[in-house]
A and B are shown apart, each in its own frame.
Chain A
Amino acid sequence: MDEKKAARLQKLETEAAALMGKIRAEDDIEKKKQLIAKRERIQSQANSIKNNRRISREAKRDLVAYSFIAPNFIGFAVFTLIPILFAFVLAFMNWDGSNAPSFAGLSNFARLPQDTFFVAALKNTLIYVVGTVPLTMIASLALAIVLNQKIRAKGFFRTVAFFPYVASLVAITAVWSMIFHPSKGPVNYLLLTVFGVDQKNLPQWFSGGLVLLTLILFSVWKYMGYYMVIYLAGLQGISGELYEAGSLDGANTWQKFLYITWPQLRSTTFFVVVMLTINCFKVYDIAVMLAGGGDGKLSTSATVLVYYIYQNAFNYWDLGYSSAIAMVLFLMVLVITLIQFRYEKKISE
């Protein structure tokens, strides 16, 4: 046993000595740092063998670090990581949640293109994303720029713009469905009396072809305050000197925006667009509450992917199929996020 230890010690010490030589010869500071760290590790290993310590300093350090992470990580692993893995498996199974599951291969995915309700849900979700992402981005950027000026009552305006974001969805969708009520609401009343729109031409905001537009408008209204705050934080990171230099060169407001603000905000915009896209694909409660009526059922004109995931899982107990739809959702989010990452990288190079 002791011999073994001595041999190991010998080996570590020669290794450390060899590293020392390398460190002397190395010119690149980064590499030098790495080598020094490596040598320190080896030396402390040797030290712990010499001092007969059972736990090396590294092991202790690791244990302390893990004890910080553990409370969160255990919960995260059990309630997030494992279900995610489970979801991938489930998409290839047939299961009703109580009887024994059976392997289904790709048949769940093969059913998707023939399912008209799924196709409608996919189409609506995509339209919703394509409509909401750019509109919210532009609105929140414009609002952030305005609120970043020297104006009075800035705090008040910011707070008000953020209100819809913190307000609960059930409450504000209830208000919206009253304000946009097709026969009794004030919006249609104004259209009727002030703008002279015919009674029979009054827009049916929550059904048919208009419902997606209503969802998009609602989302922009609700979420622009949140992204405005992110843009505000981004704007405050831009140095005032850039604008002074721009003024000296005689740049007008629009040129300053185009050549200073917009390029400086690139990484913020990237973040905003990625988050917006992910959040838009998740749309469910907005659709159910605005277009679902009393029983919360969505028709083909207003259905979205998450609604159909929910339906298949908790109403039809077709868990495999529901997971297959969830995979489609995941893949779309993944692909779009990757494209955006690629694009961001290409531009920054």
Chain B
Amino acid sequence: MNQTAKSKKFRSKKRAAILGKVGIYAILLLITACMIVPFLWMLSASIKSDREVFQMNPFVWIPEIPKWDNYIKIWTKIPLLKFVENTVFLTIVVTFLQLLTSSFAAYSFAKLEFKHKNALFLAYIATIAMPWQVYMVPQFIMMRQMGLNDKLLAMICLQAFSAFGVFLMKQFYEGIPGELCEAARIDGMSEYKIYAKIMLPLSKPALSTLTIFTFVSTWNDYLGPLIYLKSESKKTIQLGLKMFIGQYSSEYGLIMAGSVLSLIPVIIVFLCLQKYFVEGVASTGLKG
């Protein structure tokens, strides 16, 4: 009697657990669908003709005759290759400078003692909450004065030295025990060597996180290039794509093909680095 009641209770508990699992998967699948359907739609539309894109009855994901030549045509309709070149150049230089200078400065803030340390760090912190849009106009005037208007160099200066990068790296370095550096100092290592031989190899998660953030934000930046880069040969892929959409607003297939192409690099970078990502966010104090 007692036994059956117990097993009944156990069974109902198990059933509730299974129901819960099913519920969780249902929610997950729904959210995943919301997240991924626009991308699938993009892929599908990129191989359709303009008429097929909006054909609903019947709706097909892959048209009978896929228009793969959308992916060829887009390169000739706009100077896409030039745009890609510019964007790749900018993104790589900015990401490299950002990683190098931020980790360099962060090492000093996290592991060295020196005069005016707090004041200098405060200067960084105070600007984190300051939206770039607040000072983009005076910044543009200054850059124009320096002769940087319509130069890719302006975009590099703009994006390579962020307070965010220093902050992120510093948080991570503070989690590395100071004894490591002390021991190295006693062994007679210089600070530069400690940075290069001990700290950098340990900071893969933080560097990956910062790489994803910098790469994504530089690759996808729109307002910065819009303000600075005026001539067509200087434009980035975002500006170029937007220009194309403005000019040929009903060439849906081509727009989607260009969009797919513009996504590929960021997605590759993200997929390569994502295994460090959650760890990186956790250890850089980004979670607060």
Contacts and interface: CB of A to CB of B under 8 A. Distances in A.
B31 A285 contact: no
A252 B104 CA distance: 48
B122 to A, nearest CB: 12
Contacts of A213: none
Interface stretch (B62-70, B71-79, B156-164, B174-182): B156-164
**Interface residue tally of chain B, by bracket?**
35 or more
A333 B238 contact: no
B101 A229 contact: no
A277 to B, nearest CB: 9
B1 interface: no
Given A73-B105, A167-B266, A146 B259 contact: no
A146 to B, nearest CB: 6
Interface in A178-205: 178-179, 181, 184-186, 189
Contact of A237 (B157, B246, B249, B287): B287
A117 interface: no
A208 B114 CA distance: 57
Determine chain B's interface SS by DSSP, over half rule: helix
B192 to A, nearest CB: 8
Contacts, number: 283
Interface stretch (A7-15, A20-28, A240-248, A264-272): A264-272
Q: Is the interface of A mostly helix, strand, loop or mixed?
A: helix
Contacts of B107: 68
A283 to B, nearest CB: 9
Contact of B160 (A58, A64, A75): A75
Interface stretch (A79-87, A107-115, A126-134): A79-87
A189 B288 contact: no
A251 interface: no
B88 interface: no
A64 B287 CA distance: 31
A172 B263 CA distance: 9
A270 B191 CA distance: 36
A61 B190 CA distance: 11
B139 interface: yes
Given A230-B287, A271-B287, A278 B131 contact: yes
Most buried by B among A62, A171, A295: A171
Contacts of B130: 84, 330, 333
Pick from A62, A72, A236, A282 the residue with the most CB of B within 10 Å. A72
Interface of B: 20-21, 24-25, 27-28, 31-32, 34-36, 38-39, 41-42, 45, 53-54, 56, 59, 100-102, 104-105, 107-109, 112-115, 117, 120, 123-124, 127, 129-143, 157-158, 160-163, 165-166, 191, 195, 212, 216, 219-220, 222-223, 227, 237-238, 241-242, 245-246, 249, 252, 255-256, 258-260, 262-263, 266-267, 270-271, 274, 277-278, 281-282, 286-288
29 contacts: A65-B108, A65-B112, A66-B108, A69-B108, A71-B101, A73-B120, A76-B161, A76-B162, A80-B127, A86-B139, A87-B134, A149-B24, A157-B32, A168-B241, A168-B263, A169-B220, A170-B259, A172-B42, A175-B41, A175-B42, A178-B45, A178-B252, A186-B56, A225-B35, A229-B277, A237-B282, A319-B137, A323-B138, A326-B137
Report, nearest first, the 3 A-B pairs whose CB atoms are least far apart: A271-B288, A75-B161, A171-B259
